Chain A
């Protein structure tokens, strides 16, 4: 990206001032190398977002930002309903509440190394992954309704998990304000065989070990130490969320002129928060969040069962569950005044700092864990939210490595078998139903996740706590 349009406000803070039709500035948080490597479309899309009705403060992009749908992936923007603010289906994305759940096993790397092949096999059989895989759970009409209203809380009540899990999930595991009635019959049908499935693409389950500790005190507060084994589950709301995104994006495109909204691009389709279309989407989207929370809860339970057969001493307590495709009603200080705004995070993780009232009691003194998934051959990170991020990015940080190369380029550059063999030589076991899928997700197809989290830290969005590296990857 050409940086000549930016004012550099700090080492990792680049701003394009507001000029019509932009209502607020556009700010990208990234180191110089990352921003130069970013697609110019990110700034174009961010400036378009900055022009939407009711946007407040600034339109932000995280260090892992890349070209998305209307909003850049890695985009964060807040809208005030009292100022005609909008909600955008594209600003949340198709995979509503896609996120990462990290589990502490209570066991050490050596214990896993001794049974790694067996554990990989058991997990691969236990976790439905990839195109055409189906879950064992079939929900009737009443249970579907209860799941959409209850999220992970519903799953725990039905036996897929433990009550203590709920304390470590955003929103306590249940997104308030969900309106199952706004979720279509087609969206429900699409979910029928997909409850408790991982999906495909960049979704995964990984057994990882802590290889580096950056902040020993916070790591200890999160129950992490070098050599500890954790499990990360990256997936979202499956077919139900995809269908909600599809249907409401279309509806908003058609409804926008009715609300006097002129879109520079149809993909920015949105509706006023206080309109019937906006409220219907929010109700459906929140039900989609609950679907994602329930799905990750079920996968957590399946993982517990799989571990119990191989490593019965493992506990698999929930460290934290983050969602990185959401729109949430939050209170933020704007010009010295607390205002209720609707914060869109599209490929961005909430990163509330210590003392934030929305954090569970056990984490309030530490801050929110920010779980950043890398590519399968490299590393993932646990960061911790900062108070500064409130003013910088509505309390948000990055979400992953971000792609460096398209799927097509990746599948032309690597062969799946070769990727699996190379990772095996480094002690990483990959199990996937699709060799092409593995090639498309080859480590080299992603940006350097370390550079992304370093940028996030230097920008003040979140601080590094630990780095984890994979031992076993189950890939959809």
Chain B
């Protein structure tokens, strides 16, 4: 089952959804969906590596923390990311994000993400596929 991402509808904002054969891959795909809210993923070169760490009492808050850690790194570094690698062990997430500084003429960024919300927040495992999703505030 191939890992993939998509957006889903929310009236004021937008939902990010990642699917994959593992929880880690679903989290990586949700992060790709997050970047795609801002800009075209194919325009973002994975040139610089940023690492993030989070810890949460359950998978759903961990997804929220992971996306919010990326929102924070995007904001303070002025970067966009297009490649992610996640490992999760006992509620602790180690994430790698590769990207580059925002280049407005090339990336045409549409909107900044204020934060990942608890709305429509779900991390599930069914029929061999993990799903990780929530609405992000833009």
Contacts and interface: CB of A to CB of B under 8 A. Distances in A.
Choose among A68, A93, A131, A192 the residue with the greatest number of B CB atoms under 10 Å from its CB. Answer: A131
B78 interface: yes
Q: Which of B9, B13, B61, B65 has the most CB of A within 10 A?
A: B13
A357 interface: no
Given A67-B11, A253-B61, A130 B76 contact: no
A66 B12 contact: yes
Given A190-B76, A253-B61, A407 B118 contact: no
Contacts of B110: 131, 200, 411, 434, 436-437, 440
Main secondary structure of the interface of A (DSSP, over half): mixed
A454 interface: no
A167 interface: no
B108 A434 contact: yes
A95 B109 contact: no
A193 B76 CA distance: 8
Most interface-central of B14, B71, B112, B137 (chain A CB within 10 A): B112
Among B12, B65, B104, find the residue whose CB has the most chain A CB atoms closer than 10 A.
B12
A67 B112 CA distance: 20
B3 interface: no
B53 interface: no
Interface in A435-465: 435-437, 440
Contacts of B61: 250, 253-254
Interface stretch (A16-24, A209-217, A237-245, A369-377): A237-245
A409 to B, nearest CB: 7
Contacts of B112: 131, 199-201
Given A69-B137, A132-B78, A440 B111 contact: yes
B14 A408 contact: yes
Q: Nearest 6 A-B pairs (CB), nearest first? A: A131-B109, A132-B102, A436-B110, A242-B114, A267-B118, A246-B115
Interface of A: 39, 41, 66-70, 73, 90, 93-95, 130-132, 134, 186, 189-190, 192-194, 199-201, 239, 242-243, 245-246, 249-250, 253-254, 265-267, 269, 403, 405-409, 411, 433-437, 440
Given A95-B114, A130-B104, A131-B112, 17 more contacts: A67-B11, A90-B118, A131-B39, A186-B72, A201-B112, A242-B75, A246-B116, A250-B61, A266-B60, A406-B13, A407-B14, A407-B111, A408-B9, A434-B109, A436-B110, A437-B111, A440-B110
